[in-house]
Amino acid sequence: MKSKFFSRHSRILALMTTFLICFMVAVVVYLTSDISSKRAQLQQLEAQLEEIEMENSEIEYLINEADEAELFEHLARDRGYVYPDEKIFYNVTPGN
> Would you put residue 79 in left (φ > 0), alpha (ψ -120 to 50) or beta?
alpha
Average pLDDT value for residue range 48-70: 89
pLDDT band at 3 (very low <50, low <70, confident <90, very high): low
Report helix angle 68-78 to 2-64, nearest 10: 130
The amino acid occupying position 95 is G
Average pLDDT value for residue range 24-53: 97
Average pLDDT value for residue range 71-80: 85
Which pLDDT score is estimated for 43?
Answer: 97
Task: Between 61 and 96, name the one with better pLDDT.
Answer: 61
3-class SS shares of the chain: helix, strand, coil, % to 5: 75, 0, 25
